[in-house]
Structure 1
Amino acid sequence: MADSAFYDRHIDLLNHIHHHGMGILAGGVRGVLSYYGIIGPVASFVHAGIRIMMDQVVENTAGTSALPWTWPINEQVIDVLHKGFYAIVTGYLCDYWVRGVNWFN
């Protein structure tokens, strides 16, 4: 059985592991989208939704989060902006590296 004192002492570390791990998994999804030709800003918008969904499924299944629409507005805005920025940067890099597409040409 896991020692809950460890989790209590290292909550920030575990939070970073969770968010970076989910980002890596979602980045793989965006790479697959690029590979199959689903590219551009619209694909990044879809990817942002996928990223939010992945986080919420894991967090709500684990019982560590409430449903997003019950959060304070400022937390919703921060979460959507953070994941949106991640999706745009990841989308541009995946489209450029996988398909050779530069959004600015």
Structure 2
Amino acid sequence: MTREEIKELLEVEIKNCKANLDKAVNLAKEGKMTAAINRMDIAVMAKNCALQRHAQLWNTTKGNVTEEEFELLAEAETLNSLIRKAEKTRRQYR
């Protein structure tokens, strides 16, 4: 897989994770807990995929990343924190 392909997949997984976290919180606010939990599960899977791509990109570039790649890598590293925050918010509505 090329550097560009890895970068694109990383970007897709980050967006997927964030979109599902937002949807999970909104569903929780509507009282749809099962659907919210399902969205959280999807977000966690996307986060795991993003972190795999993170490692793959880092290994492929041997740490010699562009500014854009650095931003993506940093963004991927924040996903755990975003998941914890969304889970805390979701629990407020149960």
Q: Same fold (TM over 0.5)?
A: no
Larger radius of gyration: 1
TM-score of the superposition, structure 2-length normalised?
Answer: 0.41
TM superposition score normalised by structure 1: 0.38
